Structures are given as structure tokens and as C-alpha cells.
Amino acid sequence: MPQDESVVKRAREYFFRHHRYTEEDLESDYQAELCNYRDDTWEAPQRAARLSAAVKRYKTYEMLYFFFQIADEAGLDYTPLVVKRLCAHLFDRQGSQNIIVDIFGQKGRMHRSHDSDPDIIAAVAERYRQQGRGPLADSSEEYRESEAGLPEKSEQTERRQGD
């Protein structure tokens, strides 16, 4: 059951207004961690948690951005369950459920979307699988290593072996 265009439009506007987290935001968070680094305190676990959270925010943003790119063409009734299942099928991950509910949840909605049917989800996922793989490939470990100023894997291995 396709969703009313205005509902998708409102969700899209809300998403870009309140949940925008671009590659530049991710890079900025990484740079902030590098700038705030100090040798006199050991906070590696906290730093790792902040950087991991930043990467997860970025990946969630990219997944949802992709859904808004295909929303009109796919013609789905986007509910939190539909989005969660599509994320799992297309990206092998769920993303932030809080963000998904915030964007796609509708107060007072009483009926479940017929588009949450596993067969419909599988068909839509198959249709968009190739397009959907691109967005998250760019946020892989290679991006984090090269853009964050960290040494390449081979350099890290050499350093560990030399120690």
C-alpha cells in the first residue's frame, strides 16, 4: 500500500532537518578527536566509543538517505518496521532504531503496513540491492583510516612487528 506523497515528503524534510550527518560531519568528529588528543590522559576506550558512534551515525544517515532516494519510485508505505527490514535485507544492519522511529513513526497509526510482508521486503531489496551497496561501501574501514590520518594497515602491522 503506497504511502501518501506528503507523508514521505514530511519525513524527508524532518530527516534532513534533524538527522543530517554527512561525510563532512564524520570527518569533523574525527578531526576533533585528533585535536583533543593528549598524552597525559589515557582515554582510548572513550575515544574509540565516540568514533564508533560517529561511524554508526554516518552509516544510519547513508542508509536512510538511500531510502529517501528510492522512496517515490519504490512506492512503499514506509513504517519503522518496513525500514528496519529493508535495512537488514539491503545493508545487513539495522541502523539506529531511535532515529528510524523518530522519522518514520506516525502517532495514532492503528494498522500495520502490508509492505512489511517478508516477500514484499525481499522483492524490493532485490530490486535495489546493487544501488544500495554503494552508499555504505564509501564509509568502510579504508575511508576511516585514510581520512582520519591513521596509518595504513600495512604500516600498522610493520609497527607492531617492529615493537
Instruction: For residue 156, tell me if it sits in a domain.
Output: no
Instruction: For residue 28, tell me if it sits in a domain.
Output: yes
Name the burial class of residue 56, with classes exposed (0-12), middle (13-18) and buried (19+) by CB atoms within 10 angstroms of its CB: middle
Could you tell me the CA-to-CA distances from 21 to 28, 63, 107, 124 in Å, in that order?
A: 11, 11, 25, 26
Total domains present in the chain: 1
Instruction: For residue 163, tell me if it sits in a domain.
Output: no
Task: Give me the pLDDT at residue 3, please.
Answer: 56
pLDDT, block means (10 residues), the chain with 163 residues: 71 94 94 84 85 92 91 88 92 88 86 88 90 59 42 42 45
Task: Give me the pLDDT at residue 136, please.
Answer: 61
Task: Give me the pLDDT at residue 64, please.
Answer: 93
Instruction: For residue 160, tell me if it sits in a domain.
Output: no
Question: What's the whole-model pTM score?
Answer: 0.71
Q: Which domain holds residue 73?
A: 5-150
Instruction: For residue 125, tell me if it sits in a domain.
Output: yes
